Amino acid sequence: MNETWERLYEPGTGRWLVIAWEALALAMLAWATVRQFGLTGHGVTLVACGLAALWVVGAYRILQMGTYVADHGVRLYGLLRSRTMRWPDVAHVRLHKATHRLGPWEIESGMTVLLERRDGRTVNTELWAQGIDFHSRPTLFRAVYHELRLRHQAAQNPA
């Protein structure tokens, strides 16, 4: 059994913009914290190191986020948690038209890929047509979706 996990796409350059934005936001938080509490010396160092460590962990997770496949299953890396599902546990890989309600209005937010489990529950993937990886690359989104379906079908019907 192959234990190598493969992401079916290269992450978009927008991820680096998110990481830079987060660095700027944490730097502003550090500055405001130092000013608010009048920190000096070791206090400034402690705040800076703590927020830098938080940024490094967050940046790593942002870069790892995505949907990975192997011969035996699919792994979903999110920002805060990851989950692995074996292919036999997945009933269907399908597209879902995501919408959000805001009072009486319904706002469409694009297509996402869902994994439908054999027990009837659905699992969201990080694959979103309007997301940071696919917003300017719609053909890549379709190609990744089709490849995910092919991998699922191949695992269901081993030759």
pLDDT in tens, 65-95: 999 999 999 999 999 999 999 999 999 999 9
Inside any domain, residue 68: no
**Are residues 42 and 97 both part of a single domain?**
no
**Are residues 112 and 145 both part of a single domain?**
yes
Q: State the Cα–Cα distance between residues 68 and 7, nearest whole angstrom.
A: 4
**Are residues 91 and 135 both part of a single domain?**
yes
Long-range contacts of 117-123 (CB under 8 A, 24+ apart): 117/85, 117/89, 117/90, 117/91, 118/88, 118/89, 118/90, 118/91, 122/96, 123/76, 123/83, 123/85
- pTM assigned to the model: 0.85
pLDDT of residue 158: 73
Inside any domain, residue 4: no
What is the mean pLDDT of the segment spanning 90-115? 92
Task: For the chain, count helices (H), then strands (E).
Answer: 3, 7
Inside any domain, residue 73: no
**Are residues 100 and 43 both part of a single domain?**
no
**Are residues 56 and 94 both part of a single domain?**
no
pLDDT of residue 1: 52
- Find the domain containing 99 and state its range: 86-156
Nearest to 145 by CA among 4, 9, 2, 3: 9
**Are residues 151 and 90 both part of a single domain?**
yes
Distances (CA, A) of 94 to 3, 43, 144: 25, 51, 12
Is 118 within 8 Å of 35 (Cβ atoms)? no
Domain count, the chain: 2
Inside any domain, residue 72: no
**Are residues 57 and 116 both part of a single domain?**
no
Q: What are the tens digits of pLDDT across the range 16-71?
A: 999 999 999 999 999 999 999 999 999 999 999 999 999 999 999 999 999 999 99
**Are residues 102 and 139 both part of a single domain?**
yes
Inside any domain, residue 142: yes
* pLDDT higher than 60, residue 159: yes
Tokens of 147: 């490849």
**Are residues 91 and 57 both part of a single domain?**
no
pLDDT of residue 9: 94
pLDDT of residue 2: 54
Give the list of residues 6+ apart from residue 42 with CB closer than 8 angstroms, or none.
Answer: none
pLDDT of residue 93: 95
**Are residues 51 and 108 both part of a single domain?**
no
